[in-house]
């Protein structure tokens, strides 16, 4: 295989998307001596706080594309809805990791599911429907979760149906155009996510699985390491590695999975980027998922992440950020001995929006979980 050129510190890394994931990437890149150029149509995107130069043009703006291409030495991304067509154009002149292939898979659940099943990976039973009316004729056993094929995130674009009687009422609330992926709801024991970084010569490193607790389809708490047996840890890491190797693009990926009661694992979805459930890798591993994103992009060696502690991550969602920032709440909550605070610098609050997170670090994740639940009680209380 042709050796890829190493892009050394001092170079400028392009980042498509300016959310918190891009911000953490930029921090890791800056520490390693790179400059970062962020392109995000939103002028106040969080990652721009760390950029040496940034662009606000729309992703379809040709002039911005020209300037961005001229300035950067290579490109990564932090948001799967960056237009794959833009990435295809950039790929003609620049190294983009991950590339349009992974992006196209992640942008369309129908493609993602058929890719996973085609490669023999286990997924929840599912059907694809192009029109809502087809739901009446599905033989897939209920209960279902209906997911929009494109642009879903944080549980947006998902509807649950428990029995046939409710199909009619759900038809009235489903928005958008098809197709939709209809999945059987899996009675999982636990949700896990595994972050994998893969180099251009297919060398892979993985983190131990993180245990994730969602509320209303949004990630609420992530526990690292997940409270599972060693054999499950190993099979989850193996499965994630195989999934990422089968895609074949270098970069950082997260494979979300469900652990069933019998110990089987099934793949839920793939994110072609670092993951919210992996923010703790900044604090509790020798190398963070963001540094691995920089390393895999630049063809620096991938090193094995070594864990130096347990952690529990509590997402700060929507209004919780405002409650936390009331002086009397901040004074108590920010005095917690285990807690490290991250605010993403987002200016507007929307219900369920990820505004920041609190990472509880220590040597025993059961203690940390109690702290996280206690603090969540304080910030979710509106008074
Ligand atoms: P995100 O962007 O936060 O990863 P998303 O909107 O892309 O989420 P999914 O990850 O597919 O959507 O689903 C969100 C959550 O809904 C899952 O983490 C899980 O808790 C639940 N869920 C999804 N599919 C199923 C299923 N088949 N059975 C049971 N629960 C499910
Ligand atoms: Mg998900």
CATH number of the domain encompassing residue 71: 3.40.50.20
Please tell me whether residues 172 and 203 are part of one structural domain: no
Token pair of 52 as six digits? 């040496």
Residue 2 has pLDDT above 60, yes or no: no
Protein residue with least CA distance to atom 9, ligand 1:
155
| Cβ count within 10 A of residue 126 | 18
- Cα separation, 153 vs 366, whole angstroms: 29
- Cα separation, 116 vs 346, whole angstroms: 35
Residue 1 has pLDDT above 80, yes or no: no
With respect to residue 118, please indicate whether it lies within any of the assigned structural domains: no
Closest atom of ligand 1 relative to the 154 alpha carbon: 3
Number of domains in the chain: 3
Please tell me whether residues 174 and 200 are part of one structural domain: no
| Cβ count within 10 A of residue 222 | 28
Please tell me whether residues 174 and 220 are part of one structural domain: no
- Say if ligand 1 is within 6 A of residue 153 CB: yes
Q: What is the pLDDT of residue 280?
A: 98
With respect to residue 87, please indicate whether it lies within any of the assigned structural domains: yes
- From 184, 200, 221, the end of a domain falls on 184
Q: CA angle 374-321-370, nearest 5°?
A: 15
Q: Which ligand is nearest to the CA of 158?
A: 1
Mean pLDDT throughout 262-270?
Answer: 97
Distance 256 CA to ligand 2 centre (A): 6
Please tell me whether residues 351 and 221 are part of one structural domain: yes
For 9-35, the pLDDT digits (tens) are 999 999 999 999 999 999 999 999 999
Please tell me whether residues 205 and 323 are part of one structural domain: yes
DSSP-derived secondary structure for 10-67: TSEEEEE--SHHHHHHHHHHHHTT-EEEEE-SSTT-GGGGG-SEEE-S-TT-HHHHHH
- Say if ligand 1 is within 6 A of residue 213 CB: no
With respect to residue 213, please indicate whether it lies within any of the assigned structural domains: yes
Please tell me whether residues 161 and 237 are part of one structural domain: no
Coil, strand or helix at 102: helix
Please tell me whether residues 73 and 138 are part of one structural domain: no
- Say if ligand 1 is within 6 A of residue 298 CB: no
Please tell me whether residues 217 and 269 are part of one structural domain: yes
Owning domain of residue 169: 125-184
Ligand 1, pocket-test mutation among 155, 214, 255, 258, most atoms within 8 A of CB: 155
Q: Is 206 exposed, middle or buried (0-12, 13-18, 19+ CB in 10 A)?
A: buried
Instruction: Report the candidate in 222, 223, 175, 217 with the shortest Cα–Cα distance to residue 352.
Output: 217
Protein residue with least CA distance to atom 5, ligand 1:
153
For 55-113, the pLDDT digits (tens) are 999 999 999 999 999 999 999 999 999 999 999 999 999 999 999 999 999 999 999 99
Protein residue with least CA distance to atom 19, ligand 1:
217
Beta bridge partners of 183: 126, 145
Q: Which ligand is nearest to the CA of 192?
A: 1
Please tell me whether residues 171 and 195 are part of one structural domain: no
With respect to residue 115, please indicate whether it lies within any of the assigned structural domains: no
Residue 382 has pLDDT above 90, yes or no: no
Provide the CATH number for the domain around residue 154.
3.30.1490.20
Percent of the chain with pLDDT over 90: 93
With respect to residue 334, please indicate whether it lies within any of the assigned structural domains: yes
Please tell me whether residues 83 and 151 are part of one structural domain: no
Please tell me whether residues 229 and 294 are part of one structural domain: yes
């Amino acid at each position: 295989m042709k050796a890829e050129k190493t892009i050394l510190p001092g170079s400028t890394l392009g980042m498509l998307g300016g959310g918190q994931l891009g911000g953490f990437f930029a921090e890791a890149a800056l520490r390693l001596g790179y400059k970062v150029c962020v392109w995000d149509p939103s002028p106040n995107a969080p990652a721009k706080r760390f950029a040496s130069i940034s662009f606000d043009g729309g992703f379809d703006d040709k002039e911005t594309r020209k300037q961005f291409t001229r300035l950067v030495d290579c490109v990564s991304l932090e948001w799967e809805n960056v237009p794959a067509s833009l990435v295809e154009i950039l790929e003609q002149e620049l190294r983009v990791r991950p590339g349009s292939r992974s992006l196209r898979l992640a942008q369309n659940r129908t493609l993602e599911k058929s890719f996973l099943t085609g490669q023999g990976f286990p997924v929840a039973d599912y059907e694809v429907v192009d029109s809502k009316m087809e739901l009446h004729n599905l033989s897939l056993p209920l209960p279902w979760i209906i997911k929009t094929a494109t642009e879903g995130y944080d549980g947006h674009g998902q509807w649950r149906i428990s029995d046939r009687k409710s199909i009619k009422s759900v038809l009235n609330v489903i928005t958008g155009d098809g197709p939709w992926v209809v999945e059987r709801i899996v009675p999982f024991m636990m949700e896990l996510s595994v972050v994998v970084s893969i180099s251009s010569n297919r060398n892979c490193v993985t983190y131990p699985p993180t245990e994730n607790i969602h509320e209303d389809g949004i990630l609420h708490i992530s526990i690292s390491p997940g409270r599972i047996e060693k054999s499950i840890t190993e099979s989850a890491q193996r499965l994630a590695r195989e999934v990422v190797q089968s895609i074949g693009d270098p970069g950082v990926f997260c494979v979300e999975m469900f652990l069933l009661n019998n110990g089987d694992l099934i793949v839920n979805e793939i994110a072609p980027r670092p993951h919210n459930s992996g923010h703790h890798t900044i604090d509790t591993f020798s190398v963070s998922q963001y540094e691995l994103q920089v390393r895999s992009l630049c063809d620096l060696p991938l090193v094995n992440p070594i864990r130096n502690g347990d952690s529990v991550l509590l997402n700060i969602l929507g209004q919780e950020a405002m409650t936390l920032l009331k002086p009397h709440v901040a004074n108590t909550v920010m005095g917690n001995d285990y807690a490290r605070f991250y605010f993403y610098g987002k200016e507007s609050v929307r219900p369920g929006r990820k505004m920041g997170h609190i990472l509880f670090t220590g040597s025993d994740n059961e203690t940390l979980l109690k702290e996280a639940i206690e603090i969540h009680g304080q910030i979710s209380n509106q008074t």
